[in-house]
Structure 1
Amino acid sequence: MAIFNLGSVNIDHFYMLPHFPEPGETLSATGHKLGLGGKGTNQSVAAAKAGAEVFHIGAIGKKDPWVRERIESYGVNCKFLREVDGETGHAVIYVDQQGENMIVLDPAANVKQDSEFVIEAIDQAKPTDTLLMQNETNLQPQTATFALVKGMRVIYSAAPFSISAVKDLIPDVSILVMNSIEAAQLCSAMGVSLEQIPVPQVMVTLGSKGAMWRSNETGETIEVSSPKVTPVDTTAAGDTYIGYFAAGLDLGMPVKAAMEWAVQAAALKVTRAGTADAIPSANEVKSFRAA
């Protein structure tokens, strides 16, 4: 089995701040660094570090070959990562002293996915494989439809949140993943409760409280709690969770075991500054769980 991820690739610019700036305020950063990120990349790296076979489908600018090399260094197969004219996607990430973040994105190459290239990539997947997607690329509905026709599991994290994007994808989603705010927004916009969302499974991440999974086919629910840690940077915690959860399912774990593994990985991630580069390995998560 394997995971195919139609996902964003960003160059992340981190600015450590004493506090988030007020409108009109000029604020000096206490630190700055460059890193690898994007929700798609973060999830691919997390799944690969967890031990899954991962193929990343995406696009970067031709002038940034180091981005491909960095992603591959974490065990992700990048044969479906195109190089295009223009810029690689990038993000400006503000991190305050409590570890909370604010993010501004420029999608750039992420929204220049080629439909023929993406479909050819998915065509190499097997029915036992998983498709991951987020809201930072184009071609999501077409890709999800094709993957579902092939019999793949489709895991869609609805972030950055968009009501219209979710509505377009719902018919072809196996597991819809949202945080609690996104779930409330979706239920309000559709006029439904969580159990009435027309998808087979719903996952709601709850930050430091853990996560909740529900089968809307059987009514079964599972809740897992997160270990208590002192956060340094919450950026990519949700992506770490989703990558590890998808890897757990791909490796044959039951849902609850995959969730418990994933919350441990996400908790360890928030104790580290950074995005993809800071995601822990499976061995590190194992040691963290045993501590």
Structure 2
Amino acid sequence: MPHTSAATVAVLGSANMDLVAYVPVAPARGETVTGRDFRTGPGGKGTNQAIAAALAGGRVTMIGAVGDDDFGPRLRAALTERGVDTTGLRTVPGPSGTAHIVVDDEGGNSIVVVPGANAAVTDLAPGDAARIAAAGTLLLQLELPPAAVLAGARAARAHGVRTVLTPAPVVPLPDALLDCVDLLVPNEHEAAALTGHRDPHRAGRALLERVPEVVITLGASGSIHFARGAEPVTVPAPRVRAVDTTAAGDTFVGALAVARAEGRPMPAALAWATAAAGLSVRRAGASSAMPTRAEIDAAAG
């Protein structure tokens, strides 16, 4: 059924506490290096996309789980402080999810994720389907158990909610899931892993056989939009000095979801989301680096 609140976004995804070490050069196997800084902050692709969308002006509800440890209340508070509705964020026994991140001086990162409470989200909880049905867009990633992601996608499809999937961490995607996806947003490495094609244009055409619309992100080179029956459109990224790329992809997706939900044409929406991602890499951290709507508007011109 149609939705009157177009800029409402539901996020079914992970909530992690990021434990971030900053180093000049990332250690090789068996090597110990001295870091120059350490920070903790809210993360997980679900939390990141929820915060990005909220800061970009969306009305956002988060569906997922945190643990009953010290990190759980901190994660919930971080979302609430940024305007995200957390009534769908359940608390389960045991530790919250954590992500152990090493960021080098070139802005590159390597990450170890320990799922914790996220592993308990194996299906929708009571009320989750209604939260999805009330949204205009559902954002999904793959840091929750596959059964929960599929249940969310099916609920969205049943209620006419636009579904955007970030296929990360990359795994083979079943047809049952992709049949419920409107827009797939892999990065170039994920697109190559999913299709076997390193060339993003070939990968995009292959993915269009499974979903109606694809955006492949290319880091500093911008993104390419593919849609059935249309020529691919490349959107360049602004030239910036990257400090930390940890949240760039999630910032892009959150801002893109809001822009599209507000009715912006895809080229304009992509340019706006690209400006948001460009701002995020100039600052350290994940959600702490994400820009506000006013900042995105100013950068996008």
Q: Into which bin does the TM-score normalised by the smaller protein fall? A: over 0.9
Match of 1:207 in 2: 219
| CA distance in structure 2 between the aligned counterparts of 1:180 and 1:85, rounded to whole angstroms | 37
Match of 1:81 in 2: 89
Match of 2:100 in 1: 92
User: Is the CA contact 1:4–1:122 (under 8 Å) kept in the aligned structure 2?
Assistant: no
In the alignment, structure 2 segments of 5+ residues that lack a partner are none
1:3 CA drift (Å): 0.8
List aligned pairs for 1:1-291, cutoff 5 A.
1=5, 2-63=8-69, 64-113=72-121, 115-117=123-125, 120-126=127-133, 129-138=136-145, 139-163=148-172, 165=173, 167-188=175-196, 193-197=203-207, 198-216=210-228, 218-290=229-301
SS of corresponding position for 2:50: helix
User: Is the CA contact 2:184–2:215 (under 8 Å) kept in the aligned structure 1?
Assistant: yes
| CA distance in structure 2 between the aligned counterparts of 1:123 and 1:220, rounded to whole angstroms | 37
* Number of matched pairs: 285
User: Is the CA contact 2:142–2:167 (under 8 Å) kept in the aligned structure 1?
Assistant: yes
1:287 CA drift (Å): 2.6
- Structure 1 residue runs of 4+, over 4 Å off? none
Q: TM-score, normalised by structure 1?
A: 0.93
The letter of the residue matching 1:28 is T
Return closer, same or farther for 1:240/1:116 CA change in 2, 3 Å cut-off.
closer
1:31-80, CA deviations, whole angstroms, 9 ceiling, x for partnerless residues?
11111111111100010001011110010012321211111111111110
Return closer, same or farther for 1:90/1:257 CA change in 2, 3 Å cut-off.
same
| CA distance in structure 2 between the aligned counterparts of 1:287 and 1:140, rounded to whole angstroms | 35
| CA distance in structure 2 between the aligned counterparts of 1:34 and 1:71, rounded to whole angstroms | 15
1:288 CA drift (Å): 2.7
Return closer, same or farther for 1:166/1:223 CA change in 2, 3 Å cut-off.
farther
Q: TM-score, normalised by structure 2?
A: 0.90
The letter of the residue matching 2:158 is V
In the alignment, structure 1 segments of 5+ residues that lack a partner are none
Return closer, same or farther for 1:33/1:72 CA change in 2, 3 Å cut-off.
same
1:166 CA drift (Å): 5.3
1:141 CA drift (Å): 1.1
1:193 CA drift (Å): 4.8
User: Is the CA contact 2:15–2:66 (under 8 Å) kept in the aligned structure 1?
Assistant: yes
1:180 CA drift (Å): 0.8
1:221 CA drift (Å): 2.4
1:223-260, CA deviations, whole angstroms, 9 ceiling, x for partnerless residues?
21110000100001000000000011111211111100
**Identity over aligned pairs, percent:** 37
User: Is the CA contact 2:124–2:151 (under 8 Å) kept in the aligned structure 1?
Assistant: no
The letter of the residue matching 1:93 is I
Structural RMSD (CA): 1.7
| CA distance in structure 2 between the aligned counterparts of 1:70 and 1:257, rounded to whole angstroms | 30
User: Is the CA contact 1:59–1:83 (under 8 Å) kept in the aligned structure 2?
Assistant: yes
User: Is the CA contact 1:57–1:121 (under 8 Å) kept in the aligned structure 2?
Assistant: yes
SS of corresponding position for 2:150: helix
1:127 CA drift (Å): 7.3
